[in-house]
Structure 1
């Protein structure tokens, strides 16, 4: 019988990133980052209070991942939860960084005893999730991510996948509402692990589950 599959994001799900990115922006670029905003682009500002244009933001992110990944620390409970889940399920870490950062990401996760397949991606995560489902044919799938846009993408491409919205940075979690296309929002790994195990036992997400989610909103 096929094993269940957990597909999880990395930054702000397994590893804290935003707080360290904010520190680095101030130290290296004299920029501020508002951790209490739900808009990434509006969060980065110059000392004069001006927002940065989008074309300046992505090179900053690339620079952080190229030189500063050692700053990132583990989200509490993440390593323990993955160890327990990985005893009977497959795990893929689907992370939106370029392929050039794959080796660094694998090494980074290994420092926290997280040794699972890392799949780099650009853009929406629905298509790579669909491809993983078709390749691995798991008994059930749970997808975990901090960004609502990816839950919408997975809902469109792989509606049978359970979707859990999680934000590991408490200050960001305070201001970001639950993703409308996720089945649940849980920001604590001990509770999330129980939810994931229950969904594995339940099998693929059903149309009835989608209806219940819509009624609860």
Structure 2
């Protein structure tokens, strides 16, 4: 990996493992990011599944330069505590899962914003270990899970992250959380072996079945 990811603070027990993305899975991302853009005189046009090229001036729809879009995303991570709130039922579902399994948050975010996100999650009583990386998630989950003969599940909204984990941890239950947002209608579909859900109720059911051995992986 290009960056060094410190896993020393993640202490797994002899229980199943659920690795969970954060943005638009545990915390609302795109909806508050749109409000953040509007507060700065910008808006998002849902023309494709990307931020660069689709953020424009709210007055004349002049595209915002890519370098500025990249900075807006970083600035939003800096200000996330004022904007991001939990997704529906995420807190209750994760607490239920955490009663029977280890939970680790794996967020696609520059590591320098880890402590800000840590404070936000802690304020919601979501105190599970947190890892932030811009590297592919598959090798991280592989290193976390290792050779343990225990069930493992991974929840994310992005197909490429799910495919990365599936490649490196073939035994992993892969769950795609699809937010009810226009931009996600433009997202590339995940592979057929990925379980697609729209909320934490459905995700919890699949995770429970996988961890107890009472259901198929997909």
Matched, 1:17 2:29: yes
Match of 2:206 in 1: 195
Matched, 1:112 2:112: no
**TM-score where L is the length of structure 2:** 0.83
What SS does structure 1 have at the residue aligned with 2:146?
helix
Unmatched 5+ stretches in structure 1: none
Match of 1:65 in 2: 77
Whole-angstrom distance in 2 between the partners of 1:53 and 1:9: 28
Instruction: Note if contact 1:142-1:164 (Cα within 8 Å) is conserved in structure 2.
Output: yes
1:79 to 67, 84, 91: 91
By percentage of residues, which structure has more helix?
Answer: 1
Match of 2:157 in 1: 146
Instruction: Note if contact 1:3-1:90 (Cα within 8 Å) is conserved in structure 2.
Output: yes
Worse-superposed segment, 49-58 or 8-17: 49-58
Matched, 1:122 2:134: yes
Whole-angstrom distance in 1 between the partners of 2:114 and 2:192: 28
Worse-superposed segment, 176-185 or 61-70: 176-185
Change over 3 Å in CA distance of 1:181–1:120 after alignment to 2 = farther
What SS does structure 2 have at the residue aligned with 1:39?
coil
Taking the TM superposition and a 5 Å limit, the aligned residue runs for 1:44-59 are: 44-47=55-58, 48-59=60-71
What SS does structure 2 have at the residue aligned with 1:86?
helix
Q: How many residues align?
A: 204
Worse-superposed segment, 180-189 or 103-112: 180-189
Whole-angstrom distance in 1 between the partners of 2:111 and 2:172: 25
Unmatched 5+ stretches in structure 2: 1-12
Q: How many angstroms does 1:11 deviate by?
A: 0.6
**TM-score where L is the length of structure 1:** 0.84
Whole-angstrom distance in 1 between the partners of 2:95 and 2:32: 25
Q: How many angstroms does 1:114 deviate by?
A: 0.9
What SS does structure 1 have at the residue aligned with 2:99?
coil
Deviations 1:159-206 (A, max 9, x none): 121110003344444444642265210011111101111111239x8x
Whole-angstrom distance in 2 between the partners of 1:53 and 1:105: 27
Instruction: Note if contact 1:163-1:183 (Cα within 8 Å) is conserved in structure 2.
Output: yes
